[in-house]
A = this chain, B = another copy of it.
Amino acid sequence: MAHSAETMPAPAEVTTVCCVGVGTIGGGWAAYFLARGFRVRAWDPSAEAEPKLRRLIDAAWPALTELGLDEGASRERLTFHTDLGEALEGAQFVQESAPEVLELKQELLANLDAAAAPGVVIGSSTSGYSMTEMALNAERPERFVVGHPFNPPYLIPLVEVVGGERTSAAAVRWASGFYERIGKSVITMDREIPGFIANRLQEALWREALHMVDNGEATVEQIDRSITEGPGLRWPFQGPMLTFHLAGGEGGMAHMLDHFGPSLKSPWTRLDAPELTEKLRDDVVEGCAAEDARAVRELVAERDRGIIALRRMIEGRRCESS
């Protein structure tokens, strides 16, 4: 169970990573690692995998170039392997992005564990399984972490990091440090919960939307436009909590919860709200202050500048394409 940090390379010394499974997500990771200047060793058992991977990387490269390539970034640094042991040679980090089939993941992780050099941390892109269940057959479960990206991994910064019950704290720290070093926005969770964080929020919205279509309450187009022309214009700048912090006016989240708390009893979604206890109220109010302590007035001004810039950018793109 012990996992000695000494056996792990320092994140800054990593020059070679292995991408195991290179479909949409794994291929997106490969493109991102190449843009950050790594040597990437790819493995995938599918016959079509290599040409598909190269097409995906070629398609992503202009975007990655526009966002800025790191020193040494080159598509030439990709090698493709059909033998897993060969793919892992020299790899100092492994990103696994195999299909979401539990038995397959369990077997694959055991094989990775047997073949990868000791001390190498292995991250999984899974969006559905806990590391506790996936690493069931691994001899060294302490080095396995979830590193859950968002599609497309070469453009969306978010990575959710969480270990399983037998993962070492050192491996979780290492993975978070490594992803941060390569420019990702990392959320390190201290416990496994199904769907992690972003997918739980996204899934709640998606299920409410499906209910609405199911009941003829809204069309697909209306649902999408209600977001793209509504709250979707605020969410790149301020998340759902700060959004309601601002909705409280100068009194912020405290005013919002104290005055609009009763609306949690309204049938505005099929999801029941938790009881708004004193503790929950305080946790949310203090959480907003901890996240951004500036006055609501300043946050409003910042949000507005962001929305204006976004709307002008969207307008500009519409004019270009018409």
With the chains together, A46 CA to B96 CA distance in Å? 61
8 Å CB contact of A205 from B189, B204, B264, B266: B204
A246 contact set on B, CB distance < 8 A: 151
A187 contact set on B, CB distance < 8 A: 222, 225-226
8 Å CB contact of A241 from B220, B268, B269, B273: B220
With the chains together, A187 CA to B284 CA distance in Å? 32
A201 contact set on B, CB distance < 8 A: 205, 208-209, 223, 226-227, 231, 269
Q: How far is the CB of A22 from chain B (nearest CB, A)?
A: 14
Contact yes or no, A208 B213, CB < 8 A: no
Q: Digit string of A247-290 for contact with B (CB within 8 Å is 1, else 0)?
A: 10100000000000001101111111110110010011001101
A247 contact set on B, CB distance < 8 A: 151
With the chains together, A32 CA to B136 CA distance in Å? 59
Chain A interface main SS type: helix
How many protomers of this protein does the assembly include?
2
Contact yes or no, B223 A241, CB < 8 A: yes
Instruction: Spell out A's residues near B (CB within 8 Å).
Output: 24, 59-60, 63, 66-67, 128, 150-152, 155-158, 160, 185, 187, 189, 191, 193-214, 217-242, 244, 246-247, 249, 263-264, 266-274, 276-277, 280, 283-284, 287-288, 290-291, 300-301, 304-314, 317
Other than A160-B226, A236-B310, give 20 A-B pairs with Cβ distance below 8 A.
Answer: A63-B308, A128-B263, A128-B268, A155-B308, A156-B307, A157-B233, A189-B222, A195-B266, A195-B269, A196-B226, A201-B269, A202-B205, A203-B268, A205-B205, A207-B264, A210-B264, A213-B283, A220-B284, A306-B314, A310-B310
